[in-house]
Amino acid sequence: MQDTTSSPLAPDYGETPGVQYLAPIREVDPDIYEAILAETRRQQTGIELIPSENYVSRAVLSAIGTVFTNKYSEGYAGKRYYGGNENVDIIETLAIERAKQLFGAEHANVQPYSGSPANMAVYYGLLEPGDTVMGLALPDGGHLTHGWKVNFSAHFFNSVQYPVNPETGLLDYDVVWELAREHKPKLIWAGATAYPRVLEFDKFAQIAEDVGAYFAADIAHISGLVATGLHPDPVPYADAVTMTTHKMLRGPRGAMILTKEEHARAIDRAVFPGLQGGPHDHVTAAIAVCLKEASKEEYVEYCNQIVRNAKALAEALIERGFELVSGGTDNHLMLVDLTNKGVPGKVAQKALDRAGITLNANMVPGDKRSAFDPSGIRLGTPAVTTRGFKEDEMRKIAGWLADVIENIEDKATIERVRHEVEEVCEQFPLWY
């Protein structure tokens, strides 16, 4: 039996939780049970470096699996269309109040099913179809919903994409400003999925004000850093701030929108009845729980350690001859251009999967390769930090990444790393 008492997610739990909560699934559906078991083992025995992933606490996971999944509750607290919503009102109001408190926001909507629906609600609430919008290009680290050409946000709106500087990997605010003056967008997005540096929200707000645009910040990746003061805060400037709840916040798969009071009605109406029906109340309960956890002092320390770990990992990778986009990181993630190692990102991703290290291949600024077969890899520290890893483990991870990538055809190296990864994971067990 595994000792989980040292797990940062279940510090006071004296017994092995194992997978007892799966017993009913085993009886009813052995196929799904086996898959869940296999996934549990994969998470327990491997190192998770995908910067948008994390591990939820026992309390969050328990909240998702509750009877709130049985309920319909179209509307908002006190104004529901169906009866029997007195308990839903309690959890949704708590989630909203905790979100407002944590981020210092005037208004919060916790009903979006995930990040893309949350962003869609911002478009629907603030714009008309055909309006011009601006966002960071996806290959430069932006998000699909910030106006990338294959997404609704470019089909229903006139999308202008701003780049990062391909030489430095950094945002050039003068370029954003020039594009904004030229195209006069109605909405400017700031936010990224693969940008390792600080986003200067005050500059975006200034640009938006200059051209008469709304300013929306998507802080899905950096929500915890914003909440704990480790990254500049867009809430004072932005008309809308969106975020998923399952990344750095360690909540369930869901999302939130923070707005100024003046946009509260428009955004609420965009979410329901504009885009969605009944909210996922079991998820709302879990969002409330993760927000309570994120309000604790331990969460501030967790976010500090995420940043310390990212810096340690970046430094160790640079020592092993890796080229990091922008030369390092200010936040939880880094982008590594593998061109100098002669190994495409996808090849590295697959070899590292076999070694028990999960990350994703990623485009790098100015990438000559395709999105399906890009030049880089993206890695981040939120999940490993939840697990309890510190700077020493980061240096080990950098060594394993280098060993595998520099010996990409060598099965013995992959097997050796897999073994060492499992040994370290055993020292830092997850509670699951």
CB nearer ligand DSN, residue 53 or residue 106: 53
Among 73, 85, 161, 193, binds ligand DSN (CB under 6 A): 193
Cβ proximity to ligand DSN, 187 vs 194, nearer residue: 194
Task: Name 379's bridge partners.
Answer: 334
161 belongs to the binding site for ligand DSN (CB under 6 A): no
3-state secondary structure labels for all residues of the chain? CCCCCCCCCCCCCCCCCCCHHHHHHHHHCHHHHHHHHHHHHHHHHCEECCCCCCCCCHHHHHHHCCHHHHCCCCEECCEECCCCCHHHHHHHHHHHHHHHHHHCCCEEECCCCCHHHHHHHHHHHHCCCCCEEEEECHHHCCCHHHCCCCCHHHHCCEEEEECECCCCCCECHHHHHHHHHHHCCCEEEEECCCCCCCCCHHHHHHHHHHHCCEEEEECCCCHHHHHCCCCCCCCCCCCEEEEECCCCCCCCCCEEEEECHHHHHHHHHHHHHHHCCCCCHHHHHHHHHHHHHHCCHHHHHHHHHHHHHHHHHHHHHHHCCCEEHHHCCCCCEEEEECHHHCCCHHHHHHHHHHCCEECEEECCCCCCCECCECCEEEEECHHHHHHCCCHHHHHHHHHHHHHHHHCCCCHHHHHHHHHHHHHHHHHCCCCC
Query: Does 253 participate in catalysis according to the annotation?
Result: yes
Contact 380, 334 (CB under 8 A): yes
- Residue 313 or 408: the one with the smaller Cβ distance to ligand DSN is 313
**Out of 112, 115, 191, 344, which residue is the one contacting ligand DSN (CB under 6 A)?**
115
Return the sign of the alpha-carbon dihedral for residues 247, 250, 256, 261: negative
119 vs 305 by CB, closer to ligand DSN: 119
Q: Smallest distance, Å, CB 143 to ligand DSN?
A: 6
Instruction: Tell me: does residue 284 bind ligand DSN (CB under 6 A).
Output: no
Interface mask (CB under 6 A) for ligand DSN, residues 129-158, using x and -? --------------x---------------
Q: Are 359 and 352 in contact (CB under 8 A)?
A: yes
> What is the smallest separation between the CB atom of 115 and ligand DSN, expressed in angstroms?
5
Q: Toward ligand DSN, which CB reaches closer, 207 or 222? A: 222
User: CB 270 → ligand DSN: shortest distance, Å?
Assistant: 20
Based on the shown chain and the rule CB under 6 A, indicate whether residue 73 belongs to the binding site for ligand DSN. no
Kindly state the number of chain residues that form the binding site for ligand DSN, as judged by CB under 6 A.
4
Which position among 4, 52, 109, 305 is part of the footprint of ligand DSN (CB under 6 A)?
Answer: 52
Smaller CB separation from ligand DSN, 193 or 413: 193
Kindly state the smallest distance separating residue 350's Cβ from ligand DSN, in Å: 18
Check binding of 224 to ligand DSN (CB under 6 A).
no
Judge whether 308 counts as a catalytic residue: no
**Considering the complex, what minimum distance in angstroms separates the CB of residue 6 from ligand DSN?**
29
Does residue 223 bind ligand DSN (CB under 6 A)?
Answer: no
Our CB check for ligand DSN shows the closer of 115 and 163 to be 115
Q: In the bound complex, what is the minimum distance in angstroms from residue 181's beta carbon to ligand DSN?
A: 29
The active-site residue out of 26, 58, 71, 253 is: 253
Catalytic: 247?
A: yes
Active site residue 381: no
Nearest residue to ligand DSN, by Cβ distance, number only:
52
**Which residues are catalytically annotated?**
72, 74, 218, 244, 247, 253
What residue ranges bind ligand DSN (CB under 6 A)? Answer: 52, 115, 143, 193
